[in-house]
Amino acid sequence: MLDRTPQQPLVSIENLRVEFDGESGPIVGVKDVSFTVNPGETVCVVGESGSGKSVTSLSLLRLVEFGGGRIVSGRLWFRPGEGEAVDLARMPAERMTELRGDRIGMIFQEPMTALNPVFTIGRQLTDGLRSHRGLSAAEADARALELLREVRLPEPERRLKQYPHELSGGMRQRVVIAMAMACRPQLLIADEPTTALDVTIQAEILGLIKRLKRETGMAVLFITHDMAVVAQLADRVVVMRHGEKVEEGPVERIFAEPQAEYTRALLASVPKLGEMRGKAAPEPLRIPGAPEPAAPRPAERSGTAPHPVLSVRGLTTRFPVKGGVLRRVVANVHAVENVSFDLGHGETLALVGESGCGKSTTARSILRLVEPTSGDVVMDGQDILGLDAGGLRRARRNMQMVFQDPFASLNPFMRLRKQVAEPLLNFDLARGSELEDRIAFLFDRVGLPRDFMRRFPHELSGGQRQRVAIARALSVNPKLIIADEAVSALDVSVQAQVLNLLMELQAEFGLSYLFISHDMAVVERVSHRVGVMYLGRIVEIGSRADIFEDPRHAYTRTLLAGVPIADPTKRTLKESAEFKPLPSPVFPVGEVRADPVYEEVAPGHFVLRND
């Protein structure tokens, strides 16, 4: 046992080593990692995708054993309550079950895999409360409702009765956060908890964590690739690479005087809001030690081209809400409401806005992955909404999508080589040695080793899985790629490489991107034009400079004000005890919303005036 003194840390990881079984022998996930977390302290663990950040956190909960890993050596000391420190690495499984979700809470990286698809949100929130806290059904329901309000989920009463697939990615992440904080744990392990959240919700969630830490003395082990979040939240930083700790220190010193070359490269790869001020076109990031990236060529503007590659007019998508004994339609969710825009050849149009504002539904409606209620979508002169099944299949060769959740978009039973080859085989674009060369080329271009072709999705980290999804989308040489949070799961160095790759491919092949993101610094870096969405509508659209340097709509200004600054000496994060409710997108059947009226405040810069 550890010496029980007031100075003892809540968690002490000593020489942790974790291994996984591979085809050619053991794979070391974490090698001799040691650090501590004190009560009331926030320790941020940063590093590349696959560096061992998540494996370290999963080892504390002994969940790494369920993923094929084993703790080979090391100690994991934890002090539950006022008792003596116990070694979690040697704790019986029954005792670990009591600690998980009670003394130690965890926010997982991928919300869809963290939630059970067959249980309602309410059931999943109340199970832990009734098990660990002994609450009655009514008390647990009341507490679950309170938790959903704390994480600012719109219409929390209705969400309790819904299933995970009925919520957007950001909404699901907020449910996972609520579950982790339900029992007010001593230690909160947060594995990329704000990856799927827009900047306004992210600021409020981080403010909530900060407030709970102050009120309860909760410690936070925060795993992230967002260095701006690290600067705003961390007390100490642990930098990991290839399963080893390369640097540790107070957040101020890490940002001001990083000692390791890898840490310096990480900080240099972070896109910073305002860096693109005064620049006319997107510009690749310069990564230390990497080749000088090629400058992108100017986009062919939709206003000057013979016709835009994509033209959307009056796109409206609504989902029915059923109720009553007969399950009649009692209301409609106005997910996308009268959205119009053009996308030029070789142009990047970014859609930004809060989780649940309709960004992803707009993308899915364009591809007819969900059927729009009304509107027109013309892709390269072809009416997409008028195509039959065969015509739509052929048209989709030119329209590819990189989805938000890479684990859900990849087949867990297929090796990665086959998944990247599948589109090429479906459209009969390559066979034999040509197919093998094309697959190897794609893995090279997205920065994955060729031996990964033999692996399955579960053998990769979240960021590595996303790179496979990008390779698959690129395989058929499409004209349009819809990137739905395509880089949100990637650490900063890999994110910079992928963003540079996307811009390089755009310059080489004239690709057009509809880029959906909540990371405003990334959007500023890659986009030619930006559309800001709120409650299913575009409230402001214009050039990158228009939106970032001269925002006119109040919501756009709110979004920009919520962007965290990658400087620990300029902390803007505020504790937020009261959360402003989001307006509901649910309207009664037959409700007619007025057509949007836009004012052109500058050439090509439009602002919604009747919202």
Q: Could you report the per-residue pLDDT of 478-521, keeping only the tens digit for each?
A: 999 999 888 876 777 777 877 888 888 888 888 899 999 888 88
Average pLDDT over residues 12-37: 90
| Residue 54 pLDDT > 90 | no
Give ∠ CA 306-397-282 in degrees, rounded to 5: 55
**How buried is 445 (Cβ within 10 angstroms: 0-12 exposed, 13-18 middle, 19+ buried)?**
middle
Q: What token pair was written down for 255?
A: 């940002």
> C-alpha angle 543/537/329, rounded to 5°?
160
Using CA atoms, how far apart are residues 401 and 474, in angstroms rounded to an integer?
9
Average of per-residue pLDDT across 389-395: 92
Choose between 321 and 211: higher pLDDT.
Answer: 321
Mean pLDDT of the chain: 86
Rg (CA), the chain: 24
Say how many Å lie between the first and final Cα of the chain, rounded.
62
Give dist(CA 209, CA 188) in Å, integer.
Answer: 9
State how far the Cα of 504 lies from the Cα of 510, in Å rounded to an integer: 10
Binning the chain into helix, strand and coil, the percentages to the nearest 5 are 35, 25, 40
Tokens at 605, concatenated: 């810069």
Amino acid at 526: V
Give the mean pLDDT of 27-46. Answer: 93
The DSSP bridge pattern shows strands 512-516 and 348-353 to be: parallel
Share of the chain above pLDDT 90, in %: 46
Q: Which one is predicted more confidently, 151 or 254?
A: 254
The per-residue pLDDT for 13 is 95
Taking the C-alpha atoms of 480, 485, 489 and 491 in order, what is their torsion angle to the nearest 10 degrees? 80
128-143 burial code (b ≥16 CB/10 A, e <16): bbeebeebeeeebbeb
pLDDT number for residue 7? 58
Walk me through the domains of the chain, giving residue ranges and CATH numbers. Answer: 11-268 (3.40.50.300)
Question: What is the residue type of 183?
Answer: C
Buried b (16+ CB within 10 A) or exposed e, 34-57: ebbbbbebbbbbbbbbbbbbbbbb
Helix (H, G, I), strand (E, B) or coil at 363: helix
SS (H, E, C) 304-354: CCCCCCEEEEEEEEEEEEEECCCCEEEEEEEEEEEEEEEECCCCEEEEEEC
Distance CA 223, CA 52 (A): 10
3-class DSSP assignment, residue 409: helix
